[in-house]
Structure 1
Amino acid sequence: MRGSFSILLAVMATLFAVDSLRAATIGKSDSTNCVMGIRGEIVQGDFEKFVTLGKILLPGSDGESTSGNRVCLDSPGGSLSEGVEFAKYFYHDGIGTVIDDGQECYSACAIMFMMGTATGAEVSFVNRKLHVGGKLGFHRPFIDIPSGSSIDISAMRFVYDAALSSALDLIAIANSKSPWSSQPMMKPDLIQGMLQHIGNDMLMIDTVDKVGRWDIEVIGAVESSLLSEEQAFYACENSLQWQNGLTEEDITYPKFSERSNGNRRSRFIKEAGQTAFIVEGLAAGYAMEGCVIWKTESALQGCGIDEYSDARLGTGDCDQSNFGDRSVRLKTISVLNPATRLEDLHSGKAPPSAQSGATRCLVLKGGQIIDNELCLIVHVGDAGVEGHASTVTHFVWPSGGKTVLVQFGESFEINGVPTSKRTIADRGDCYLNSATQNDFCVLGTSN
């Protein structure tokens, strides 16, 4: 019985099993995205260590919320019971979670990540951020009994009860309400997906669709301040669909951009005084499905309805005369095709494209050349809006870094900052980055 009991203790410690048991490294982070870091396997005692160090390292409330209390997670998982203790603490004490560029968070760590929040006297909100270069994966808890070991029936019953107890703790914390919402911190279809994946077969959070559906904020991607017809279509379809579940079909816009009557499915509103679009959804027909999507200087906005599922944006049905008063703020990432892989949004990686070539790229500071290299042109997006072109082009430098140029009609932006096009002798087409005061110039295409 003594041998069985020692096995029992080992099993109870690893309901989310990993290859070995070494305490995680917990301490101050050197990332600008978080204050503390947890790296390595989660084992018994790590939670107590974190709480002790957190009282010293975490800044607490800034007067409004605890949004600055952020912890970077880089762990393969480990003890479920210990992970649940972390998760409860993050949720109730307002600790935000981050998976930074190049970091991985699986198993029990993934549960911890999903419970990141910020709290304050008057505000509370979900506070969990996944870098597009990070990895997040879920699988079901499992019991790891060492090969060749034996365990008697009475001990196994104890293990079984302990496993159920930990699973119930997991479900209870997952069902905790998101601040100022009726939605749980982990939606039922995420729990279902987690339980369907066993061992190394992970449910990976690797697409725009998954982060949108499960309310995970994405960092590390270059964002456009302009809005195109294609982006408006995706913003409408995604924002309505994510209230119900994942997108199960291919909704790539070029396939559906023109309706049977020859009209565009996403239509620019010229007289609105805003960059706005009326979108007719793919399900529109016997019932209504559609939106008005628009963009201010600071936010993506939308109102709309899907009468088939009663999903609503803002106050629901709206038109070009009242959308400004009926809209709600939308997730910035909703403007992308839901099938887009997060890794393809990484600022250091060139996304796949059918069109590419090479050109000479220059960076000027005060008119003087400070960088002159051959870079790769990757055309990412192209959509027509009322006769104007909306194009997105990535210029990929030899280092892997990117300069992102967006054109919408006669307007341009570079790396998310508004700019204008001008031609400089012997320098080519140049675009001034108002944030850095540097000119980015394209000399011409090279074969």
Structure 2
Amino acid sequence: MGKVLVAMLAAMIAMPSMASAAVIRASETDGCRLELSGKIEAGDLTQLQALAKIFDLTGLSDSGEASNRDEEALCLDSPGGQYVEGRALAHFVHENGIATRLLPGAECYSACAVVFMAGRLVGGEEDYPSRTMHITAKLGFHAPYFNYSASETFSGDKVNETVILNNLLLADFIAFGSTTSGFQYRPMFPVSLITAMLSATPNEFEMVDSLDKAARWGIGLEGIAERGIVGLQGVQLACENFQAWAIDASALSENYGTQLKGSPVARGPDRRHSRPRHRHADDAAALPARRQRRRVTARDAARNSD
């Protein structure tokens, strides 16, 4: 985004949160190289840039392999915050090929969710998304909005200016979210996710609460129980699900459902400090998935969030 646009938007747009400022630090947790927690505010990008450089997460590799690894992720636990700073963090993460992860019990809403979706591994011969959430984590999207006071009054010129800025904001987000590569035809933000996100008001969240949504939106899952032999019916279901998700459609089979929240594996002990089993959503295609759309309000979140 242009510097003038950034300055104007920073003063006018927010994703509300009542949490403290973000803390970005080195991590000793398996699967994480850095951790970001708390509210996202101006200045967080500078913090992340400095730490990423110290831990050699910046720049792209000259070899064919990705410069970073899935196990060197930026682990997120944030209620959101300022959209413009979140957008800048997302650009930095994506540009440098840094994976993102939500550990068991983590929460990532709004501006944090934008950063999460930017997770990526890239090298000379590979380029693919790397954003992984544990099934007990919470991931929610909603649209940014202008943070005007309820008592403010506006002239016609001010309203027109706001509309123009809003259009520029959306154009920038769509352009960024539509990023693809020679190795990955699916955009960073599938159209259905952009639609769901921009349709959610400041007091609502579009939650990633089913296998169907996670796979459709290219989000890897951890904490899924292993399964035995799938069988012919399972193979057929896997093919149907995979074909639907590949074209950004909901799974074709509606008679099955796997919720992320309340899954049997979610009732075990907290394994925040152990390396969870990783399975990408595409690898879990044989698991049941149900077409579902659920909105939750801010009251449904476990703590105050955007």
**Change over 3 Å in CA distance of 1:14–1:97 after alignment to 2:** farther
CA shift, 1:149, in A, is 3.6
Amino acid corresponding to residue 185 of structure 2 in structure 1: S
1:148 counterpart = 2:66: no
Q: TM-score, normalised by structure 1?
A: 0.53
Let me know the Cα RMSD of the aligned residues: 2.8
Q: 1:340 aligns with which of 245, 250, 258?
A: 258
CA shift, 1:125, in A, is 1.7
Structure showing greater radius of gyration is 1
CA shift, 1:245, in A, is 3.7
Q: Distance in 1 between matches of 2:18 and 2:270?
A: 35
CA shift, 1:343, in A, is 2.4
Amino acid corresponding to residue 106 of structure 1 in structure 2: Y
**Structure 2 residues without counterparts, runs of 5 or longer:** 1-6, 272-306
Q: TM-score, normalised by structure 2?
A: 0.75
Q: Distance in 2 between matches of 1:155 and 1:21?
A: 31
**Change over 3 Å in CA distance of 1:346–1:10 after alignment to 2:** farther
Matched residue SS, 1:242 = helix
**Does the aligned pair in 2 maintain the 1:126–1:178 contact within 8 Å?**
no
Q: Distance in 2 between matches of 1:153 and 1:168?
A: 23
Amino acid corresponding to residue 265 of structure 2 in structure 1: S
Aligned residue for 1:193? 196
Q: Distance in 2 between matches of 1:250 and 1:235?
A: 10
CA shift, 1:193, in A, is 1.2
Residues 53-62 or 219-228, more deviating: 53-62
**How many aligned positions are there?**
260
Q: Distance in 1 between matches of 2:270 and 2:54?
A: 38
The CA deviation string for residues 76-100 of structure 1, in whole angstroms up to 9 with x for no partner, is 2222221111111111110111111
Aligned residue for 2:216? 213
1:50 counterpart = 2:48: yes
**Does the aligned pair in 2 maintain the 1:98–1:128 contact within 8 Å?**
yes
Matched residue SS, 2:204 = coil
Q: 1:91 aligns with which of 94, 105, 108?
A: 94
Amino acid corresponding to residue 29 of structure 1 in structure 2: S
Q: How does 1:121-136 map to 2 (within 5 A)?
A: 121-136=124-139
Amino acid corresponding to residue 139 of structure 1 in structure 2: H
**Does the aligned pair in 2 maintain the 1:80–1:166 contact within 8 Å?**
no
Q: Distance in 2 between matches of 1:247 and 1:207?
A: 11
Q: Choose between structure 1 and 2 for higher RCO, CA contacts under 8 A separated by at least 6 residues.
A: 2
Q: 1:75 aligns with which of 71, 75, 78?
A: 78
Q: Distance in 1 between matches of 2:11 and 2:135?
A: 32
Q: Distance in 2 between matches of 1:56 and 1:228?
A: 49
Residues 114-123 or 53-62, more deviating: 53-62
Amino acid corresponding to residue 238 of structure 1 in structure 2: N
Matched residue SS, 1:342 = coil
CA shift, 1:341, in A, is 0.5
Q: How does 1:17-28 map to 2 (within 5 A)?
A: 17-20=15-18, 22-28=20-26
Amino acid corresponding to residue 226 of structure 1 in structure 2: I
CA shift, 1:188, in A, is 0.9
Aligned residue for 2:184? 181
Aligned residue for 2:286? none
**Structure 1 residues without counterparts, runs of 5 or longer:** 1-8, 253-336, 351-398, 402-447
The CA deviation string for residues 19-64 of structure 1, in whole angstroms up to 9 with x for no partner, is 3484311111242121111111111111111111211135567973
**Does the aligned pair in 1 maintain the 2:142–2:205 contact within 8 Å?**
yes
Aligned residue for 1:112? 115
**Change over 3 Å in CA distance of 1:94–1:227 after alignment to 2:** same
The structure that is strand-richer by fraction is 1
Matched residue SS, 1:111 = helix
Identity %: 29
**Change over 3 Å in CA distance of 1:12–1:153 after alignment to 2:** farther
Matched residue SS, 2:112 = helix
Aligned residue for 2:299? none
The CA deviation string for residues 80-139 of structure 1, in whole angstroms up to 9 with x for no partner, is 221111111111110111111111111111111111101123222211101101111111
**Does the aligned pair in 2 maintain the 1:81–1:166 contact within 8 Å?**
no
Aligned residue for 2:27? 29
Q: How does 1:243-322 map to 2 (within 5 A)?
A: 243-247=246-250, 251-252=254-255
Q: 2:36 aligns with which of 24, 38, 41?
A: 38
The CA deviation string for residues 297-332 of structure 1, in whole angstroms up to 9 with x for no partner, is xxxxxxxxxxxxxxxxxxxxxxxxxxxxxxxxxxxx
**Change over 3 Å in CA distance of 1:143–1:241 after alignment to 2:** same
Matched residue SS, 2:149 = coil
Matched residue SS, 2:140 = strand
Aligned residue for 2:105? 102
Q: 1:238 aligns with which of 233, 238, 241?
A: 241
**Does the aligned pair in 2 maintain the 1:27–1:38 contact within 8 Å?**
yes
**Change over 3 Å in CA distance of 1:246–1:109 after alignment to 2:** same
